[in-house]
Structure 1
Amino acid sequence: MASQAAFDYQQQVEEIRQAMQCDFVALALVQSEERHFQIRWEYASGNLSQRFRRIILQSGKGVAGIVFKTGKPIFAPEAEKYCTKEDLYSYPIIAAEQLESFAAIPLFKYNRVKGILLAGCRKNNCMSFEKFELLQSLIAPTFGPYYSEELTGN
């Protein structure tokens, strides 16, 4: 048996998009402390352009920044109820990919948020609660070193 190979995150993102039957899936990774914990969208599937690669967020800013800061998922079956048109500039990934419904979940490693997985659709109410649960269930088998819930001392 070969040693554990490095994960192919691009392939995993594409497989999640197919399993979820949604328009867009992206993985943002949190940079090191030396880089001030910047958050960048590193991998995507179903993207309209390469604009997602230029998005750099800080803690608390944008979908990824909020998930990073709170450590909690976001479920937005209607994006306009989550972020208004006037507020859209604060959510560049939603605007760049024209998402109408989405879910984002934190990926933990060593009890810290190290990544954010976003799945979205370009039509309203496409992201159902069932799809949100499916997204959460796909984390462990897909991303190996990451897990989807913060560990507790229980």
Structure 2
Amino acid sequence: MKDEPNFDCQQAIDSLRGRFAFDFVSIALVQSAADQFVLTWQYASGNLNERYRRIVLHSGKGIAGMVFKTGKPMIIQNIAEELDPNDLFNYPIIVAEQLQTVCAVPLWKESRVDGVLLVGFREGNRLTTALLDEFRQYIDPSFGPYFTRELIEE
């Protein structure tokens, strides 16, 4: 995203949130090798507070870390049913933003994952098949230098 001067990341996620009525949209970007390739949430739309800015994730940790490490999307339809409440500390963005449904997809640049796009709702079971299909078709052309390989495993 930094390589594309005409691409406005904040405008892109604001537009995405408005188009699909998501409660929260955020992008985590990988930081340099000097920072041990940690991920930080750089852009957010619909955030309740600024806590997302202080979250630092290592590869394989948290939603962004797992999506970054595997290069595969992650969908949690109902946080309360699918995650153990004692494990929520491993998902700080869910706690900070009070999310109940999330979808995180890798953002590829050339041949590697360079970031993670997370969308979510503050109510459970809000990601319908129709919404995910429409989201999948919309996402690639709207994210400038980034693309997703697949949104949902076929």
Deviations 1:69-126 (A, max 9, x none): 0100011111123322110000000000000001000000121110100000000111
**Which letter does structure 2 place at the counterpart of 1:86?**
N
Deviations 1:14-60 (A, max 9, x none): 00001111100001111122211110000010000000000000000
- CA, structure 1 residues 33+136, in 2 after alignment: closer, same or farther (shift >3 Å)? farther
- For structure 1, the 5+ residue unaligned runs are none
How far did 1:130 drift?
A: 2.5
**Which letter does structure 1 place at the counterpart of 2:61?**
K
Structure 2: how far apart are the matches of 1:115 and 1:27?
7
How far did 1:134 drift?
A: 2.9
Q: Which moved more, 1:87-96 or 1:27-36?
A: 27-36
Is the partner of 2:7 in helix, strand or coil? coil
Match of 1:88 in 2: 88
Structure 2: how far apart are the matches of 1:136 and 1:36?
31
How far did 1:138 drift?
A: 2.6
Is the partner of 2:108 in helix, strand or coil? strand
Contact kept? 1:75, 1:132, Cα under 8 Å? no
Is the partner of 2:135 in helix, strand or coil? helix
Match of 1:69 in 2: 69
Structure 2: how far apart are the matches of 1:40 and 1:7?
19
Structure 1: how far apart are the matches of 2:116 and 2:126?
20
Match of 2:103 in 1: 103
Structure 1: how far apart are the matches of 2:24 and 2:109?
24
Structure 2: how far apart are the matches of 1:48 and 1:98?
8
**Which letter does structure 2 place at the counterpart of 1:29?**
L
Is the partner of 1:17 in helix, strand or coil? helix
Superposition TM-score, scaled by structure 2 size: 0.89
How far did 1:132 drift?
A: 2.6
- For structure 2, the 5+ residue unaligned runs are none
Match of 1:49 in 2: 49
**Which letter does structure 1 place at the counterpart of 2:91?**
Y
Superposition TM-score, scaled by structure 1 size: 0.89
Match of 2:59 in 1: 59
Is the partner of 2:60 in helix, strand or coil? coil
Structure 2: how far apart are the matches of 1:58 and 1:47?
22
Aligned length: 147
> 1:16-35 residue pairs with structure 2 within 5 A?
16-35=16-35
Match of 2:114 in 1: 114
The question of 1:123 aligning with 2:129 is answered no
